[in-house]
């Protein structure tokens, strides 16, 4: 007779005897007794079948629109049948609201409510103008799969995957991993597009093992950027990675921002030193964003370098180039660099804007208000080419800028500084 074993509810580690602390994840008091599985009759496995591309059903190539252009942009054109999307974000950022906004515009959506009652969802749905929605209030994974396999929907929203009971305590790593794997199998077998809402940890990543993110086709994060909400793709098998969708949270729900450049430059001050307009690229979308810099005399032995919204290591490199190649003294100055609007963009094309904003802040001379810049700054002080230059320049023209500084019309950082701040 097989003996019972013990399994850690946090990481799934198995042991034949009870342990106080898990050797796998270090959790205390996390072991639960697991009854032995009954012996199963030996069954001859079916041989795998080979499939040529010509035999693949062409319906897999079509896209299903979410009804929101910003979401479709991030997904790469809409949902692919059988796609599994993991949607993460901080509590209260608007994940459930975004699901209801899509459900309002998409037919045949099943909404699995694991954290709220149908009455609570109805209150929010009424405020958002959702007239009809098929709700499933079920947290037992086996019962949920039985329902879905009997009548598979075209689109399934699960809010949230941490609420499902799958052989362990809901929310544990074992339960999240097992529930995700089961729903991925369901999506691939039935062609249902599945959106899984996932909680995030204090580090800002989706809670659960990395195998969960490997199992899904796309991982999206809904983030706060000032008064806006930004939907960002961190992984996408069917579209670009790093693409942005911008929304504004209103009483009536999440509203799409059709012109993010105009929205993020709305409160831009004119004629103030330390401000430069950068033409950035986030995924396939070009944006005109304001880079702000402030330099102040430091009271500390080592000057501070504070960066918000940009790659701190690249900013440090640009500051070193300013000191070494242009002779700008920063040894006694605290330097603060910020990407206005609350966005976070890791784009080398922002280097030139950072350099000019910092130089402008130190010398106290503003840049022309109709100037937009783009370019990567090299260690020798040269301005290097960047991806999507034509797309960036077109966005700058659409945003109303008349002068541009880019790798095609400047040879180096010293020439750019002399031309506009000399």
DSSP string, 206-231: BSS-HHHHHHSSEEEEEEEETTEEEE
The closest of 388, 321, 380 to 349, measured between CA atoms, is 388
Other Cβ atoms less than 10 A from the Cβ of 304: the count is 12
Q: Residue 220: phi, psi to the nearest 5?
A: -115, 145
Query: Would you give the DSSP letter of residue 6?
Result: E
Work out how many domains the chain is built from and give that number.
Answer: 3
Residue 42 located in a structural domain: no
Question: What was the pLDDT predicted at 361?
Answer: 98
* Same domain as 346, residue 302: yes
Alpha-carbon distance 17 to 5, whole Å? 6
**Predicted pLDDT at 201:** 64
Q: Is residue 92 part of a domain?
A: yes
User: In a 3-state reduction of DSSP, which class is residue 64?
Assistant: strand
By residue range, what is the domain housing residue 338? 262-421
Band of pLDDT at residue 413, cut at 50, 70 and 90: very high
Identify whether the C-beta of residue 117 lies closer than 8 Å to the C-beta of residue 138: no
The C-alpha atoms of residue 123 and residue 30 are separated, in whole angstroms, by 38
- Return the DSSP state at 94: S
Q: Which of 235, 258, 281 is the last residue of a domain?
A: 258
What SS3 class is residue 106? coil
How far is 8 from 28, CA to CA, in rounded Å? 9
Whether pLDDT at 203 is above 90: no
Per-residue pLDDT, averaged over 51-63, amounts to 74
pLDDT for 190: 94
Per residue in 315-357, pLDDT (tens digit) is: 999 999 999 999 999 999 999 999 999 999 999 999 999 999 9
* CATH code, 88: 3.40.50.300
179/163 Cα distance (integer angstroms): 10
CATH number at residue 373: 3.30.230.10
248 and 310 in a single domain? The answer is: no
How many alpha carbons lie under 13 Å from residue 195 in its C-beta half-sphere? 28
Q: Do 252 and 316 reside in the same domain of the chain? A: no
In a domain, 44, yes or no: no
- In whole angstroms, what is the distance from residue 398 CA to residue 114 CA? 45
Q: Render pLDDT for 58-115 as a digit per residue (tens, 0 to 9).
A: 655 689 999 999 999 999 999 999 999 999 998 889 999 999 999 999 988 999 998 8
Question: Which SS3 state, helix, strand or coil, does residue 124 take?
Answer: helix
State the average pLDDT over residues 377-385.
Answer: 96
Q: Does the pLDDT value for residue 54 go beyond 70?
A: yes
The reported pLDDT for the residue numbered 27 is 85
271 in the same domain as 225:
no
The answer to whether 174 touches 10, Cβ cutoff 8 Å, is yes
**Same domain, yes or no, for 139 and 79?**
yes
Number of H helices, E strands in the chain: 11, 20
| pLDDT for position 59 | 58
**Residue 52 region by backbone torsions, left for phi larger than 0, else alpha for psi between -120 and 50, else beta:** beta
Report pLDDT digits (tens) over 292-315.
999 999 999 999 999 999 999 999
Same domain, 253 and 111: yes
Whether residues 197 and 97 share a domain: the answer is yes
33 plus 107 within the same structural domain: no
Residue 58 included in any domain: no
Q: How far apart are CA 192 and CA 118, in angstroms?
A: 23
Q: Is 371 helix (H, G, I), strand (E, B) or coil?
A: strand
Query: What gap in Å lies between CA 16 and CA 194, rounded to an integer?
Result: 37
Question: Could you give the dihedral angle defined by the CA atoms of residues 208, 211, 215 and 219, in that order, rounded to the nearest 10 degrees?
Answer: 50
Task: Write down the pLDDT at residue 4.
Answer: 74
Q: Are strands 376-377 and 383-384 parallel, antiparallel or unpaired?
A: antiparallel
* Cα distance between residue 359 and residue 328, in whole Å: 8
Domain for residue 285, yes or no? yes
pLDDT top residue among 43 and 62: 62
182 and 273 in a single domain? The answer is no
pLDDT above 90 covers what percent of the chain? 70
Domain boundary among 198, 225, 258: 258
Q: Model confidence at 43, in pLDDT bands (50, 70, 90)?
A: low
Residue 243 lies in a domain: yes
User: Each residue of 144-158: pLDDT tens digit?
Assistant: 999 999 999 999 999
Q: What is the pLDDT of residue 205?
A: 60
Q: Is the CB of residue 286 less than 8 Å from the CB of residue 388?
A: yes
Q: How far apart are CA 69 and CA 60, in angstroms?
A: 21
Non-local (6+) Cβ contacts of 43 within 8 A are: none
At CB < 8 A and 24+ separation, what contacts does 383-392 make? 383/352, 383/407, 383/410, 383/411, 383/412, 383/413, 383/416, 386/281, 386/347, 386/348, 386/349, 387/281, 387/349, 388/281, 388/286, 391/281, 391/286, 392/279, 392/280, 392/281, 392/286, 392/349
Find all residues with CB under 8 Å of 31, minimum gap 6, and list them: 6, 7, 8, 9, 15, 18, 19, 22
DSSP letter assigned to residue 39: P
Task: With cut-offs at 50, 70 and 90, classify the pLDDT of residue 283.
Answer: confident
Query: Within a domain: residue 3?
Result: yes
- Both 231 and 286 in one domain: the answer is no
Answer yes or no: is 297 within a domain. Answer: yes
Reported as a pLDDT band with limits 50, 70 and 90, residue 418 is: very high
**Are residues 236 and 142 located together in one domain of the fold?**
yes
The band of 281, judged by pLDDT with boundaries at 50, 70 and 90, is very high
pLDDT digits (tens, 9 = 90+) for 228-273: 999 999 999 999 898 999 999 988 889 999 999 999 999 999 999 9
By the 8 A CB rule, do 109 and 135 touch?
Answer: no
Last residue of a domain, one of 258, 281, 299: 258
What count of other Cβ atoms lies within 10 Å of the Cβ of residue 46? 6
Same-domain status, 266 and 254 = no
pTM for the model: 0.84
């Amino acid at each position: 007779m097989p003996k019972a074993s013990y399994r850690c509810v946090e990481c799934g580690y198995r042991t034949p005897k009870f342990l106080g602390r898990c050797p796998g994840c270090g959790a205390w008091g996390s072991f639960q007794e697991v009854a032995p599985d009954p012996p199963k009759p030996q069954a001859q496995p079916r041989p795998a079948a080979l499939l040529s591309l010509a035999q693949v059903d062409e319906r897999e190539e079509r896209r299903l629109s979410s009804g929101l252009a910003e979401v479709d942009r991030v997904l790469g054109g809409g949902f692919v049948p059988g796609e599994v999307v993991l949607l993460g974000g901080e509590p209260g950022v608007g994940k459930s609201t975004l699901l209801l906004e899509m459900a309002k515009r998409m037919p045949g959506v099943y909404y699995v409510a694991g954290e709220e009652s149908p009455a609570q969802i109805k209150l929010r749905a009424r405020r958002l103008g959702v007239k009809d929605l098929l709700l499933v209030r079920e947290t037992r994974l086996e019962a949920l799969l039985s329902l879905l396999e009997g009548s598979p929907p075209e689109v399934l929203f699960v809010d949230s995957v941490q609420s499902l009971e799958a052989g362990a305590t809901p929310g544990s790593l074992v339960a999240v991993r097992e529930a995700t794997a089961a729903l991925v199998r369901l999506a691939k077998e039935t062609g249902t597009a599945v959106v899984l809402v996932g909680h995030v940890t204090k580090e800002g990543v989706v809670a659960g093992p990395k195998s969960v993110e490997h199992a899904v086709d796309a991982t999206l994060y809904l983030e706060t950027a000032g008064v806006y909400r930004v939907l960002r793709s961190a992984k996408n098998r069917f579209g670009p990675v790093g693409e942005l969708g911008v929304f504004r949270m209103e009483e009536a729900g999440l509203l799409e921002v059709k012109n993010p450049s105009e929205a993020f430059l709305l409160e831009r001050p004119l004629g103030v030193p330390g401000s430069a307009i950068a033409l950035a690229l986030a995924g396939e979308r070009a944006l005109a964003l304001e880079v702000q810099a402030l330099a102040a005399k430091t009271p500390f032995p080592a000057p501070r370098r504070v960066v918000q919204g940009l790659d701190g290591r690249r900013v440090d490199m640009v500051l070193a180039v300013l000191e070494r190649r242009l002779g700008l003294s920063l040894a006694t100055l605290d330097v603060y660099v910020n990407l206005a609007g609350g966005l976070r963009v890791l784009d080398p094309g922002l280097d030139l804007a950072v350099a000019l904003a910092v130089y402008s802040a130190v010398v106290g001379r503003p840049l022309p208000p109709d100037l937009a810049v783009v370019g990567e700054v090299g260690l020798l002080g040269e301005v290097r080419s960047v991806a999507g230059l034509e797309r960036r320049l077109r966005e700058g023209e659409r945003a109303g800028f008349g002068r541009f500084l880019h790798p095609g019309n400047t040879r180096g950082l010293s020439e750019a500084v002399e031309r506009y701040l000399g």
